[in-house]
Structure 1
Amino acid sequence: MRFPSFLALTILGAGCMDSGKPEEDELELLDDAKDDSHRNPTDHGELLFGNGAATALTDDERHHAWTFELSGDAKVDMTTSYALLGQRRTDTVLYLYREGATGWGSYIARNDDYGNTLYSKLVRELGAGRYRVLVKGHQAETRGKFKITVNCAGDGCVSPATASCVFGSTYGDIETNSALETINSAKITAATLTNLNPDDQHKLMLAVQQSSHTDVTTPLEAIGRVDQGEVNVSWLAEPAAQRAFIAFEYGAGDNSYGAIFDRFNAQMVTNIHDGDLENCLVKAETCLLSDDWLALRSDPAFTIESNRVVTDASQVTGGVAIDQAMTAFGQSYDDVASVADGLSRVDGNRLNIVGLRHKTTGVRLEVFEYGAGDTSVGRIYFRNTTNPAGVINDLAIESCQLFE
């Protein structure tokens, strides 16, 4: 018997409504003010294809995000699943964003449940670009562990930087790589784990997740899973690019695994799989900024377009400028509460804001610099954004993002 089309739609709609599951909480979708929301999630950095990343929905972290980049057309499969075999299922909702000229904007795809599970899945044909996957709970009170895995098929799966990875093609290449310098190295065990700061301990855990131990959730648990309970840590510098990295390498079943992270933004820039470097995001670069702030101010490659001294918080107006100043102050004072508070702490109670333009490329920068204990500290931003072009640390310019 053939039902009229309107009746078929009515029956289908009734089936959806009778599922007994409450509507998804999306009240915070456009709430910019919250630290934990769609617009301000816990950012885990780059997600490597085929490598699951495990985390949890908690009271403080209810929105989790990862990014990936495509160099061309590809079919991408994004799935949430259990983090630990046998755990209680966590009711997730998965969102996909594509980065545009003004940021992430609205999501381009969303999935709540797939199949007969409470987990989420998206399969999309995508073009070149940078993407973000975001996972939240179906309800605001949803809590629990989960894993996100992104698989990719097609020529576009190769990251734009992969073909010329700064580290080489294998972990062993780093030792003889003329573009890199090993600043320090250490062997970390359970007994020496506290020699790493909390942020680096978290990176160690993420590095161990690049092997079969995807379910580890603490740094101590991670060390207990690897061969001999040891992780080799190396601090690396790329002088020409004025940036630094930290590498974590260990044995897993007599094979070499791990990951390398950017020291400034904590992004995983490559993972180590059976000794090979995979999903590399960084190529060899040459920084356009001078070695230090004094040299940059007199660098003939740049034009100084503006130069002002701020001595009162009222001189810093607009949300972007306030955020720029607060981030710069936070580099020295992690508990700074306001621009006025920051000014009260810095040498001479003054903040120098200098506008620069790179003559060849036309790129405009804004430098927020101050004295902190008789040394120069601050941030270099791309004009009218909070995107960093570099960091001033004890006069030296580090973590460069402006390249030839």
Structure 2
Amino acid sequence: MLKRSFLFVSLISLIAACSSTVDTTESSDKGEPVAPPADGKMDVAERIIDKGELGFGPENAVSAAFDEDLQFYGWHLHVRAGASVTLEVTQKGSSRNLDTTLYVYGPKTSSGGYGTTALGFDDDTGWGRLSRITEHSFHVAGEYLVVVGTYDGRGRGNFRLQATCLSGDCSPEAKPEPVVTDCHADIANAILACVEAKENSSTEDVSTMTRQDLIEACTTPEQVASAWEKLCAQSSAPSDVCASFEEFSSSYLPACGRELIDKTLDTTCVFGTTYPDIWNRPGAVVVLEQRVLSQSDVLSPLEQQQVIAAVKSSAHSEVSSIDEAFAAADGGIVYQTQLWDASHRKPYTSVELGAGDNSFGLIFDFGTVQPVATINDSDILECKVFWGSEMRPCKQDEHCAGELSCTGVAEELEKGRCIDTSKDEHPVNGTECSDQEPCPEGTGFVCAGGFMCNPAWMRGRFVSRPNLPIPDANPNGADATIVAYGLTTVSTDVALDLHITHERPSDLVVSVINPEGTEVVVFDKKQGVNEIFFDSLPVEGFPGDESANGVWTVRAVDTKTGSTGIIRSFSLTITSRWD
């Protein structure tokens, strides 16, 4: 009996000893985990081993092995806004005693990066020393980078990573695609292939062009000739397409382009793809007013709520007061911009912090704290406002919907905008205004000529990045041009953004020339500057009764020998009126 008791106690001791070899209790002196080496401007994605896509569920689990020091493996996870996801390095498929770390970065920005700061991190919440991030909420839809490493950067062994959706459907919501009904698919595909090639080109600068601009540029007989020949060589060639190439080019093809543009605009966010698009790729949105807000400003309760919400939407979810919001903002500064969507004739307010390439914030329905779009690292996400029927490009009235008319057609482009002029009837229209007493907020009117409220669609912004060399000591100079269209008949105000680099700017005379040929000098051999940079410079001197639509020119003349320069970029914001 004693011997049996001894054996039983020994067996219990042995089990306890064995159990101690898989003890999951962490040592208190582990030190800090070795994180992915992302520092400075180096994005985390540049320092990991890219393993492709990570799906949801055990059937889409992924595996890899650590066999060298400082290895970090990354997978791309696509989610919809509001998704709740658990990410786990699972016991199944992972080596015993492997000590992992788990990170989430993102969302992916328009520049292709995921940042350097992890949105989520875990060390040992999972089985043993494995990692698990439980119920992580992805507030913004997009592509995220999930990274697995080892705690000290020297671990060895296999592991298995699984993503589990806890909120029903975590996969991205399908973005509506343009549906082409009349244009033959072969012709439409040839146009869209050209658009994609231009968007991905390393030699062609399309930074100021919208997707509809690219469709227009690709809707040419040369771009679709091959597709047309293949289609019309078939025994069942469609007669409406294949009567003759000349007839196809003059009527059918332009109709295809217009249809593709309309279908694209139906699913295009009116604010653009990135927040700077409002200024760099202007479309239907007119900028009415901009303010720089700081803690010293007196803000209305609504403005305070908007600022707090915008700051919270960035990385500062803990903010709950206006003082905390300004303290969290870069430099204690927040930018408020009043926007007018001329395609729907609706006002919006954007509140943004960290202006430039690192913008965050929200675009609100005017007068509310209801966001209609999120600004995340300058990208426009979760947009709820797509192009309306107005402000679409046209050549004639028949190209516009309903009773809209094709307004402001520039002969050089054969292009105007679809406008419903009957909606211009408003108590504010034609009333007096000034810089001190602007047109009422939320009404969609701009102060034209500094004295009269006109509908905001009568203001247009036109952008060019010509990178045009300025010839040395040549009286003809360099002419950079742009075509204004979609305005009313005559200009009232012109504002110039301009960037010129030159070895000796004091040699230069720079002027702006309107479509009638009237020239206004804006820079005349000024001393003591290293480059010419204007931001919303009022160009004063145009008579106010000359054409707004047509070719506008920025001319730079180098008056002395021995130095050269380049017109890098320019834009004109032109306000117009009926004559």
Instruction: Compute the TM-score of the two structures, normalised by the length of structure 1.
Output: 0.35
Bigger radius of gyration, 1 or 2? 2
Instruction: Flag the structure with more relative contact order, 1 or 2, with Cα contacts below 8 A and sequence separation at least 6.
Output: 1
